[in-house]
Structure 1
Amino acid sequence: MTLAAPIDPLAGAPGAYRDDLVEVVRTRHVPIGAIRTDSFAFWTDHDRVHLAHDLPAERIDNDLAGLVAAELFAPGWLEGSELFERLMTGLVVSAADDPLSAWTLFYRNTMDRLAQLTSLRPGAATEPHHGALVEGSLAGYAPVYRHAAGLIEPGSVLELGSCFGFFSLFAADRFAMTASDLSANTVRLLGRVAPLLGRRIETVICDAARVPRPDTSYDTVVALHLLEHLPAEHGAAVVTEMQRLARRRVVVAVPFEDEPTAAYGHVRVFTARTLIEIAIASGWSWTVHEHHGGWLVLDRP
């Protein structure tokens, strides 16, 4: 079986994205027989999924993840985290005439929305945005980012598993941020877009369990909604690496779920007890608490 080439977020034609597994186009014209949802139409042809949409520019932000999950994956039409990521990439890239402009639109809309949400007082109601609140939406992440920033003291911060780098961009005006992720293309994209948004961050391409930096390189090391994507042994290695790199503090956030959310690539669930067991094994001073999920804070003795 031939493996699909890695996702290239900067590949695409005007209004379209195509790779080994998916084709996404911005159009109102779809073939007879396509399956229609509120926002999309899709069909399959051999081994490729075709997705059509006509989303306006203001809807191109990270809430697309919740939209795709709710309309295409939750009903069982499609499955698999790789397909989910490729369709998300296609929706963004197809939203403009060139990929970099599309990603800049996506990032700018996302960061503007996060700024709006995090400026609200904690617990305040938010207006509907792209439909009902779902896990993974910006309204869901905003209190996580706000809370994480409140746990960090001034200084240098390394974010592990940063993915698109939203938290690093969000916190860049308060801390010296470094964003890291295993996906080379995603990290390079973040490095291209950050200056266009007026944010200054460093980037590192690496496995979160093997960061090419000396011991105690950063004042604080954070992993926000990363460990649920990793098997237990890999996750334990990440926490050990965080302790090696942190001069003062380690901050871990995880969702509390009954079952792993497969569309987002989750492979394990956490409880407060799970976090306490990790804390005890660390040998550091620790606290565990709940705030829109679970939190583990380790402080170097």
Structure 2
Amino acid sequence: MDTSQDILSPLRSAPGGVYRDDCVTVIRGPAPPGREIAHTSHFTVHAGEPLAITHQLSVDDLDEDLTGLLRTELFEPGWVRGPELFERLFTGIVLTCADDPLAAWEAFYRNTIRQESTPGARPGGAIEEFRPVHDHAVELVLGDSVHELGSCFGFLALRLAAQGLDVTASDLSVGTMQLLGAVAPRLGARVATVVADAGHVPAADRSVDTVLAVHLLEHIDTEHGRRVLDEAVRLADRRVIVGVPYEDVADETFGHVRTIGPADLAELGAQTGLCFEVHEHHGGWLVIDR
């Protein structure tokens, strides 16, 4: 994800299982009596300012499928709206599950990686949804060095690093890059992290074999997207891989600002003047080769 501002501090502590910022309060523990406006399988929403959520999840429950729980139980019913609140609640829930923030995030990463390596173990969740996307991206990579633009948590970057590739991950979020940089060594992975807008990366021309922009363009407007593709082509010595979800309506919960279809991908490819092809596999793919 490539966002316009860094709103999170993912390594801050949440003493006593309580996370607070200027927009949300997240508490791990029994829901206090009164002021309850919604109760779901995993969360209780409380009235007042700021928004307050209670939960009883543990470190064993932390993985990327938390995305689906928040979406189906809080955002789709309309109890909460907006990508900023989504990110704040997600962060708050993770941090309230352990006294040590890095231990909480390490559990989140390890649990997600374990689930992603076990196809069919938990059908219908975010991990199961993204597994074929990441599988396909890995299949398309050429060469020994990769730069993933807008990497967010960096699960794809970590997977490529585990296969022995020289991997760089970049994202506009300072906090996300700090988190990935701190967790990767604990997972035995070597991933270089760079804080950068995907449209302006401080790296040399043709500095890596493959550049990835997977589920990034739907988060940014058309003009920015063109700059990102130009930058990806500049950085790549052999191949650029772009992956997008095919949506009828942009999903605002995840910060999507536009839909992108096969014709849009083909137009982007043609504008590069290079050889390209567009195909579909759990979404749309644009592959550009020098």
- TM-score, length-scaled by structure 1: 0.91
Distance 1:31 1:50 in 2: 13
Contact 2:31 2:55 in 1 (8 A): no
- Given the alignment, which residue of 256, 274, 286 partners 2:276? 286
Could you list the per-position Cα deviations for residues 161-208 of structure 1 after superposition, in whole angstroms to 9, with x for gaps in the alignment?
000111001111222111100000110111000001111111100000
Correspondent of 2:247 among 238, 248, 257: 257
Contact 2:251 / 2:257 at 8 angstroms: preserved in 1?
yes
Correspondent of 1:268 among 232, 236, 258: 258
Query: How many corresponding residue pairs?
Result: 283
Amino acid at match of 1:71: E
Aligned twin of 2:220? 230
Aligned residues: percent identity? Answer: 47
1:16 Cα shift?
2.1
Structure 2's unaligned 5+ residue stretches are none
Residue of structure 1 in register with 2:210 after alignment: 220
Q: Is the 8 A contact 2:250 2:257 kept in 1?
A: yes
40, 52, 57: which one aligns with 1:37: 40
Question: Residue 188 of structure 2: which of 172, 179, 198 is its match?
Answer: 198
Instruction: Tell me, yes or no, if the aligned pair for 2:59 and 2:104 is still in contact at 8 Å.
Output: no
Contact 1:80 1:263 in 2 (8 A): yes
Counterpart mapping for 1:56-135 below 5 A: 56-117=58-119, 126-127=120-121, 129=122, 133=124
Deviations 1:29-70 (A, max 9, x none): 323231201110011322x11110001332210110111011
Structure 2 residue 136 is the aligned partner of structure 1 residue 143:
no
Residue 276 of structure 2: SS of its match in structure 1? strand
Contact 2:6 2:173 in 1 (8 A): no
Give 1:5 shift.
Answer: 8.2
The answer for the alignment partner of 1:120 in structure 2 is none
Deviation at 1:228, TM superposition (A): 0.2
User: Which residue number corresponds to residue 238 of structure 2?
Assistant: 248
Residue deviations 1:191-232 (CA, integer Å, cap 9, x gap): 000001111111100000000011111110001100000000
**Does structure 2 retain, via aligned residues, the 8 Å contact 1:255–1:292?**
yes
Moved over 2 A (4+): none
Q: Secondary structure, in 3 states, of the residue corresponding to 2:63?
A: coil
1:79-125 deviation digits (Å, cap 9, x = unpaired): 110000000000100111121111111111111111223xxxxxxxx
- The structure whose RCO (Cα within 8 Å, separation 6+) is larger is 2
Secondary structure of 1:216's aligned partner: coil
CA distance 1:258–1:5, shift in 2 (3 Å): closer
RMSD (Å) for aligned C-alpha atoms: 1.4
Task: Report the secondary structure of 1:116's partner residue.
Answer: coil
